[in-house]
Amino acid sequence: MSMVSIRELSFRFTEEWVHRGINLEVERGDVLALVGGSGSGKTTLLQLMIGLLRPNQGEIRLFGEPLFGGGVDRECALRRRFGVLFQHGALFSAFNVYDNIAFPLRELRCLDEGLIHDLVMLKLATVELLPRHALLMPAELSGGMTKRVALARSLALEPELLLLDEPTSGLDPDRSDSFVHLIRTLDEELGLTVVFVTHDLESMAELATRVAVLAEQRILAVGSVEEILALDHPFIRNFFFSERSQRVLKAH
pLDDT tens by residue, the chain, 252 residues? 789 999 999 999 888 899 999 999 999 999 999 998 888 899 999 999 999 999 999 999 999 999 988 888 888 888 899 999 998 889 999 999 999 999 999 988 778 899 999 999 999 999 999 999 999 999 999 988 999 999 999 999 999 999 999 988 877 778 888 888 888 888 888 889 999 998 878 888 888 999 999 999 999 999 998 898 888 888 888 887 766 666 666 665
Q: Is residue 21 in some structural domain?
A: no
Q: Is residue 208 in some structural domain?
A: yes
Measure the CA–CA gap between 246 and 22, rounded to whole angstroms: 28
For the chain, how far is it from start to end, CA to CA, in angstroms? 31
Q: Give 168's contacts (C-beta < 8 A, 6+ positions apart).
A: 176, 179, 180, 198, 200, 203
DSSP label at residue 198: -
Domain count, the chain: 1
Q: Is residue 63 in some structural domain?
A: no
Q: Is residue 141 in some structural domain?
A: yes
Partners of 197 in beta bridges: 34, 165
Q: Is residue 207 in some structural domain?
A: yes
Domain that holds residue 185: 34-54+73-251
Ramachandran quadrant class, 51 (left: phi over 0; alpha: psi -120 to 50; beta: rest) = left
* Entry pTM: 0.90
Cβ contact 127:160 at 8 Å: no
> CATH number for the domain including 211?
3.40.50.300
Measure the CA–CA gap between 11 and 46, rounded to whole angstroms: 12
Q: Is residue 65 in some structural domain?
A: no
Q: Is residue 7 in some structural domain?
A: no
Q: Is residue 198 in some structural domain?
A: yes
Measure the CA–CA gap between 188 and 29, rounded to whole angstroms: 10
- Of 223, 228, 181, 187, the closest CA to residue 206 belongs to 181
